[in-house]
Chains A and B, each alone.
Chain A
């Protein structure tokens, strides 16, 4: 039990030491790789929040990730590079889109909700393809990273790594608090029995919409960080397979488990990276692994070594 409680802190410590270790063994490539893992962990964690606790299976989460990334890219082409302006703007843009998309989509349930979020994400995707001014299908290259000031150089690989780590750790802390707070409990209650929650006086629609918007804002932040990480944004990050990958990450890690999204993103990207180094046809073993998870660990990897944080 004690080890279990200490595990997240040990992982955090290991993550904090990673750039130092990678530099020491002259493999600074892994700083960038771990950074990408953490960015997707952030996006997957936000999806896990609405999927796992709110029961809202969105197949359009990449839209918010992409809106965040494009906000950074577009602002950059207009000369706005301050992270203090652009990153909140990215979150706000994603949140605003989620407010519009959510207020229509949340009227539907189940498979229809999956499909309508997919539809809206596809609209955003084709909009990005049509934005010829901002690269259209070819994408948009960022001339520099967002600037923080105070003598902090975001151009430094390890510095950006620590910024991403801080964003992930901070968000996980807030999400875990939210799940245990009244808001999170209400979301879980609505997932379990919406009619009853409504009967005891909860404005269930507004609760679900608020959850949807919060998750989108976090995904927008992840997108903004990804634009900085990659120095490039393109419609590819908005494609529906990207949304599906995020869903797969959550299911793989463990739907509704505290660190389900983080575990799923880490394992999936690690597997991709390792398998791709070994063979060109790395989707094949990856698919076999996912199939094995469906039948051997039906509640995801987190279920194997923890209790659900419901």
Chain B
């Protein structure tokens, strides 16, 4: 285990964690403020990636595709909020689970109809395809650095938005006590639509940026959705700060687990056993983390509600 490898894996973990944060941020706000368990949030991530890939192919430029896909997904999210989510706010969580599960089915098959069943290609911009030297002797892919930068900038922007704008104040108010915010005259309906659209746009950013690294395929939303749910439960539902800490934690634990756990096990166990157990334990690590957090702090690390 060399220092180079360690730095590389830490950066990979940070990069994955930041993208998880973009997805989890929307999910935690929708959950915390509107009290809606939106399983279809992963589908917006998938739609963002598919739109980015298509626009990149048509225009030939990743830099046009990224903002275009984000705006388009935001509009789709707005449409979803107006036509469906709005009717679910007053229903219980189980009705929301059933309805948004139905949305997953519809979204997956709509993508299958429009793009076909095979995964499609989204390439990273050519200018960023090579590695750069970040420390003497340490090379790291430029594209992954871009992802980290975008993730950090968006996290900062989101923090400023939540902590220092009027709308952000309403978001915080809605998060900590929805009914009170309504009583005090906050126009929650408009706020809900804004939040939902914002969440859709953030997951589209993650979808478009992760597209070149992971596969752009049907079902990609379901896998990432579970990770995002783990993140918001660890962080505390409704808390942006919690989502950030949770996401980076999950990203680091997941990446480090996959990279180092098999080697560590090799020292203690026979090779064959370690080879079987290593990958399984690495995949389990984040769920153990979540179970432990829930056991010790049932409201998550940064509970939004007092």
A251 located at the interface, meaning its Cβ lies under 8 Å from any Cβ of chain B in the complex: yes
28 interchain pairs, CB-CB under 8 A: A57-B93, A57-B94, A104-B291, A111-B31, A111-B93, A111-B237, A112-B298, A115-B230, A115-B233, A115-B290, A115-B294, A116-B294, A119-B287, A120-B287, A126-B283, A129-B279, A130-B279, A130-B281, A248-B98, A251-B94, A281-B113, A284-B105, A286-B102, A287-B109, A288-B106, A290-B102, A291-B103, A294-B88
* CB of A264 to closest CB in B, whole Å: 10
One digit per residue, 1 when the CB lies within 8 angstroms of any chain B CB and 0 when it does not, for chain A 183-198 equals: 0000000000000000
Q: Name the CB-closest residue of B to A122.
A: B287
Whether A283 pairs with B291 at a CB distance below 8 angstroms is no
Q: Could you tell me which residues of chain A, from 279 to 310, have a CB within 8 Å of some CB in chain B?
A: 280-284, 286-291, 293-295, 298
Which of B101, B281, B295 contacts A104, CB < 8 Å?
B295
Contact A118 B229 (CB under 8 A): yes
Please pick, from B39, B95, B294, the residue contacting A108 in the complex, using a CB distance under 8 A.
B294
Whether a CB of chain A sits under 8 angstroms from the CB of B158 is no
Query: Known interface pairs A119-B287, A130-B276, A132-B276. Does A111 touch B106 (Cβ–Cβ under 8 Å)?
Result: no
Task: Compute how far the CA of A57 lies from the CA of B284 in the bound complex, rounded to whole angstroms.
Answer: 22
| Contact residues, A110-138 vs B (CB, 8 A) | 110-112, 114-116, 118-120, 122-123, 126-127, 129-133
Q: Chain A interface (Cβ within 8 Å of chain B)? A: 57, 104, 107-112, 114-116, 118-120, 122-123, 126-127, 129-133, 240-241, 244, 247-248, 251-252, 255, 280-284, 286-291, 293-295, 298
A287 near B105 with CB under 8 A, answer: yes
- Contact indicator B276/A133 (Cβ below 8 Å): yes
Using known A-B contacts A241-B222, A283-B108, A287-B109, determine if residue A248 contacts B230 with beta carbons closer than 8 Å.
no
B87 touches A295 (CB 8 A): yes
- Assess A291 versus B113: contact at CB under 8 Å? Given A111-B37, A120-B291, A284-B106: no
Report which of A129, A282, A294 forms a contact with B98, defined as CB distance below 8 A: A294
Compute how far the CA of A89 lies from the CA of B275 in the bound complex, rounded to whole angstroms: 28
- What CA separation (Å) do A102 and B15 show in the bound complex? 35
| Contact B105 A112, beta carbon cutoff 8 Å | no
In chain B, what residue has the closest Cβ to A280? B112
Report A-chain residues with C-beta under 8 Å of the C-beta of B113: 281, 284
Pairwise interchain contact B284-A131, C-beta atoms closer than 8 A: no
Distance from A7 Cβ to chain B, minimum over Cβ atoms (Å): 25
